[in-house]
A and B are shown apart, each in its own frame.
Chain A
Amino acid sequence: MTTATLAPAARTDVRRREASLGDAIRWETRKLRAQLRSKALLIGSLVAPIAVVVVVGAQSRPPKDSLFGRFSTVNGFAMALLVLGFASQWILPLVTAVVAGDIFASEDQHGTWKTVLTRSVSRSRLFWAKVVVAIVFGLLALVLLAAATIGASLLIVGHGPLIGLSGQVIQPSTALPLVAASWATMAPPLVAFTCLALLFSVWSRNAAVGIAAPVVIAMVMQLVGSLGGVEAIRPYLLTTPFEAWHGLLAEPRFTGPILDGAATSAVWAAVSLLAAFLVVRHRDITGG
């Protein structure tokens, strides 16, 4: 090492300003932007739907057994809703869990809890900064998926009138906001799955568990929700709000399931975050 000397900083007041939530969010965002995985996920959210639309649109036989599948090869709005149905079942929980399931566990993996918690930032601020960044990332991925899907569907397949779930004809000027709104109804359950992934990330301290567990839970809930005789618990399953958009495409329109789904998602999110917060707040940092 050199013999350079360090000029002492002005020590007039040893009371240091605590890092704000904004500081912590900026830090978490910088880290996320530097990670290849998050960039790849966002690019994938933009590119993959285009590929799906191209491939499905080129099929000679449309997937008639799927919701809006019958018209998906001839109507762009139907195609966007077909992709929505598929994405809500299999893609969205995974997309959001890739970041949320890793964001706490990676601190354990790199042994960096002790690095950040010995600065002027509290555990609470760091916790909420990670929560905000994970949720914003999940929503950003949803926006990109939606924009890419709708845009590609309309440009590649076409934008004629849409046949609704009650057989009604929906003019393109009405269909576009309804399709966009249908994608928007994914936001509450997506946020709830984000919070669930955050909980697993905190609890397991393992990124693989944090990412895989919400996806597995989503699959199990899909399976349970599809069984008969489970009407009593179906409203409380976190996958049920993913189907709430159906009412927007019916005649007459109904939005009750969307509100119920938002409430269910809020409860799942709140419970997950509370549990995660308590674990972070009280755990001993012994590793790293």
Chain B
Amino acid sequence: MTKTAAVGAAVDVVGVTKMYGPLVAVDDVSVRVAPGEVYGILGPNGAGKTTLLRMLFGLIRPDGGEIRVFGRTWDEAGVHTLDDVAGFIESPKFYPYLTGRQNLEGLALLDGSGLPERIDEVLEVVDLTGRDGDKVGGYSYGMRQRLGVAASLLRSPGLLVLDEPANGLDPAGIRDMRALVKRLAASGLTVLLSSHHMDEVEEICDNVTIMNRGTVAFHGTIDDLRAMAPDPGHVLRTGDDTQAMSIGRTRHPAVGVEHAPEGGLVATGSERDLAAYVADLVRAEVPLLAFTPTRTPLDALFFMLTDARPDDVHLPREKQVVR
């Protein structure tokens, strides 16, 4: 019997665990995605994002915990769990000996109701009109990615799950894919998106879970994340590193100045302190060759959260609470 009542969340993952022998791929992970939300799951390769999404789609069985999608679980509802869900895991795959349109027609057949009349519509959305008669074997990576989005939209889902949708795309493809996701989200669709690019999640998502080594390193809003981000670091190249470091240490205690492993200096601090420090260097006639940000504050936080074990990362206690 399919449960449709008491739907509080589009996705409710509670304490899910998946093991492959001694390897814990996903360890007691909980995620809650509200309807209409654009939710990001962020983490480096191997963090467990894809395993989590595969479990959501029923491709992998969890060893523990529960996954509800619009209130339904796989044990109770079987394939009806995905009634209002569509998406793709990693790069979307199709039958190379069929055309794009034939692939979509076949998938519509497997959708039960089919909605084949939407094929032209979804092809237009992803800009594949005119190429739908070509065999998928001849498609570029980006075209297959777009066909994957078209195949998902064919189900006219309430929840769209996209696993690293911009992966492998060129910069123009990335820009277009992000624009498409934002447009779909603006239409009221709930979007669950995994990525290992902080800027992608920051640009698109309302809320985010950061995973590392199968566990949750952070749950919260993008604003929460920004508030936790460390001061930005800048690579400083001068004609006299010794004097530059001396000026920093003696006159600007709020600015950290260290030797960079790859040469030059790295200065960290607030924008105001850094500006004052650089002005001092100019006044002292230290030749200033370059002053460039190392990485964005959110990127820095992401690496901090995922390079170290989560237990070793000092987060405010309330930030570790599952939303």
Chain A residues engaging chain B, CB cutoff 8 angstroms: 1-9, 11, 14-20, 23-24, 26-27, 30-31, 34-36, 110-122, 282, 284-286, 288
- Can you sample 23 A-B contacts with CB below 8 Å? A4-B127, A6-B125, A8-B187, A14-B4, A14-B84, A14-B158, A15-B4, A19-B109, A19-B112, A20-B112, A23-B109, A26-B109, A30-B106, A31-B98, A31-B106, A116-B107, A118-B59, A119-B107, A120-B155, A121-B112, A122-B79, A285-B59, A286-B54
Q: A9-B115, A24-B110, A119-B107 are in contact. Are A1 and B82 (CB under 8 A)?
A: no
Which residues from chain B contact A2 at a C-beta distance below 8 Å? Answer: 124-125, 127
CB <8 Å contact, B83 and A27: no
CB <8 Å contact, A6 and B121: yes
CB <8 Å contact, A285 and B54: yes
Which residues from chain A contact B146 at a C-beta distance below 8 Å? Answer: 1
Distance of A58 Cα from B61 Cα, bound (Å):
62
CB <8 Å contact, A118 and B126: no
Which residues from chain B contact A20 at a C-beta distance below 8 Å? Answer: 112
B80 at interface by CB-CB < 8 Å = yes
B292 at interface by CB-CB < 8 Å = no
Q: Which of B175-183, B196-204, B234-242 contacts A (4 or more CB under 8 A)?
A: B175-183
Interface size on B, as a range, is 35 or more
Which residues from chain B contact A35 at a C-beta distance below 8 Å? Answer: 97
Closest residue of A by beta carbon distance from B60:
A284
Q: A1-B179, A8-B187, A19-B112 are in contact. Are A120 and B54 (CB under 8 A)?
A: no
Distance of A84 Cα from B183 Cα, bound (Å):
64
Distance of A114 Cα from B58 Cα, bound (Å):
10
Known: A14-B158, A288-B89. 19 other contacts (CB 8 A): A4-B125, A5-B125, A8-B187, A11-B158, A14-B84, A15-B4, A16-B111, A24-B110, A30-B102, A31-B95, A110-B95, A114-B57, A115-B93, A115-B151, A118-B82, A118-B86, A284-B61, A285-B54, A286-B60
- Which chain B residues in 158-205 approach chain A with CB under 8 Å? 158, 176-177, 179-180, 183-184, 187-188
Q: A19-B111, A30-B106 are in contact. Are A6 and B153 (CB under 8 A)?
A: yes
Q: A6-B122, A119-B155 are in contact. Are A110 and B83 (CB under 8 A)?
A: no
Give A229 Cβ to nearest chain B Cβ, in Å: 45
Q: A110-B96, A119-B155 are in contact. Are A5 and B187 (CB under 8 A)?
A: yes
Closest residue of B by beta carbon distance from A23:
B109
Which residues from chain B contact A19 at a C-beta distance below 8 Å? Answer: 109-112
Distance of A256 Cα from B61 Cα, bound (Å):
48
Per-residue A-contact encoding for B77-95, CB less than 8 Å = 1, 0 else: 0111011111111101111
Distance of A35 Cα from B124 Cα, bound (Å):
28
Closest residue of A by beta carbon distance from B78:
A122
Closest residue of B by beta carbon distance from A10:
B156
B118 at interface by CB-CB < 8 Å = yes
